[in-house]
Amino acid sequence: MRKSRRQIVNRIVEATGAGLVVLDVLVFFVVYGPLGNKLDREAHRHTELRQTVRNQQVRVELLRKYEAALPQAGKGLEDFMTNRTPSRREAYSTADHLIHKLSDASGVKLSTLGFRLEAEHKDPLERLAIEINAQGSYEGLLKFSHALESANEFILVREFSFTPGGENGALGLRLGADLYLTP
């Protein structure tokens, strides 16, 4: 009888141990596996969020630099508007004086000079179209066009073409430019 009790106790202990092993395996697959996957996903999400925060901090620093430079840009824009763009009243005389001065300095003879103010004004600056026909040597015409582009006034050369001249091997230049001015 003692043996059978011992066997019964051993079998109960074995059954309990096997049950605990099965329970442990069940808990592992049902609870720990999904939690481990969730933990991995959250760790990955946390890493992505940290990287996003770093990127945003870099952008904030860059924006702070721009913000610090903004007052200087405003002063530069004000300087540009007052010193490099003539008013509408002065535009024609400024352009005429500049073009004649540059043509004299480069040895170019002006054939025609025409101005046309932009009919519809949409931008902060108005555009005065300038049409120039000139004759001279190749070097003189290049010097004239370069001087016009690099003048202190805000002039943009938009059209530039050479034509055969006729007098003493001179070339003709047809040049279209825009002078920007304050309204």
- The per-residue pLDDT for range 98-116, each reduced to its tens digit, is 889 999 999 899 888 888 8
Tell me: the pLDDT tens digits for 42-83? 899 999 999 999 999 999 998 888 888 777 766 766 666 566
pTM of the model: 0.51
Using 50, 70 and 90 to split pLDDT, how confident is the model at 36?
Answer: confident
How far is 56 from 40, CA to CA, in rounded Å? Answer: 24
For 77, the token pair is: 């824009």
The DSSP secondary-structure symbol of 182 reads B
N- to C-terminal Cα distance for the chain?
Answer: 118
Which residues partner with 110 through β-bridges? 134
pLDDT tens for 130-181 read: 899 999 888 998 899 889 888 877 788 888 888 886 667 788 889 998 887 7
Higher pLDDT, 173 or 94: 173
pLDDT (0 to 100) of residue 54: 93
